Structure 1
Amino acid sequence: MRILTAKKNGVEIALVQSEGIILKDVQSALDLMATVRYETGCVHMVIHKSSVVEEFFDLKTRLAGEILQRFINYHMKIAIVGDFSVYSSQSLQDFIYECNKGRDVFFVLTEEEALKRLSQV
């Protein structure tokens, strides 16, 4: 895993890059948040969909809610970058829509869009 940083509109944002899955359960989310804060001091993070376990996108597992609640509780804003149109679940599409209306969690298609959304909050 590599963590780079970018600055947009005066906001420092961590760009988490990984060849494998790093966000797989609540503990891995907590570890990731701690690592990002320790190494960069950032409270805004971008991660790619390919670094997130596939069960996250099956809302019946409750994994997405449990993980994202930790991000909110620890005041860490996150943008997940990827193509989410591959999922046919209407409840997941509704979940993504509601998250994108908020100020803490975003599901976006590009890293540039992620930086834009995170720098506006």
Structure 2
Amino acid sequence: MLDDRILVCEPDGPRLREDRDALDLIGEAGATGATWVAVPAERFHEDFFVLRTGVAGEIAQKFVNYRVGLAVVGDISRFTAASTALSAWVLESNRGGHIWFVRDLEELAARWSARG
């Protein structure tokens, strides 16, 4: 079971492509008292997974600046298979405490409870 400090977004919501999309979710998290936002991978525009576009950096930076964690939930293997840079970023992000890439909500719950 997920902690109520994690705002879990529905898969059919608006796609995230710009930093203002991130700000909308950060605002929603703040209104509910959440400190993390779990967003299904399919909600992200494909540009998020192409690092040279800068979309991922812009969105990630907003979450870090506002001290709200971001969990990208779902299978992104088709993107990581095509990009060693993205694979490296995912690995590095998962070592930290601000942005996580997880397969599903169960993995997120396990990471959340183990974070100490």
> If the length of structure 1 is used for normalisation, what is the TM-score?
0.85
How many residues are paired up?
Answer: 113
Verify the 8 A CA contact 2:25 2:37 in the aligned structure 1: no
Moved >3 Å (runs of 4+): none
Deviation string, structure 1 residues 21-61 (Cα, Å, up to 9, x no partner): 432210110111101211x1101111100111110000010
Q: Distance in 1 between matches of 2:64 and 2:40?
A: 18
Q: What residue number does 1:71 align with?
A: 63
Matched, 1:46 2:22: no
- Give the one of 97, 100, 103 matched to 1:106: 100
The one-character-per-residue Cα deviations of 1:1-31 (angstroms, maximum 9, x if unpaired) are xxxx942xxx621111141443221011011
- Asked if residue 17 in structure 1 is aligned to residue 10 in structure 2, the reply is yes
- Structure 2 gaps, min length 5: none
Greater fraction of residues in strand = 1
* 1:97 paired residue number: 91
**Aligned residue identity for 1:110:** D
User: Residue type matched to 2:95 in 1?
Assistant: K
Question: Over the residues paired in the alignment, what is the CA RMSD in angstroms?
Answer: 1.7
Q: CA deviation at 1:115?
A: 2.3
Contact 2:12 2:43 in 1 (8 A): yes
Q: Judge conservation of contact 1:78–1:118 (CA < 8 Å) in 2.
A: no
> Residue 22 of structure 1: SS of its match in structure 2?
coil
Tell me if the contact between 1:15 and 1:47 (Cα under 8 Å) persists in the aligned partners: yes
Aligned partner of residue 106 in structure 1, secondary structure:
strand
Q: What is the alpha-carbon distance in structure 2 between the residues aligned to residue 23 and residue 51 of structure 1?
A: 6
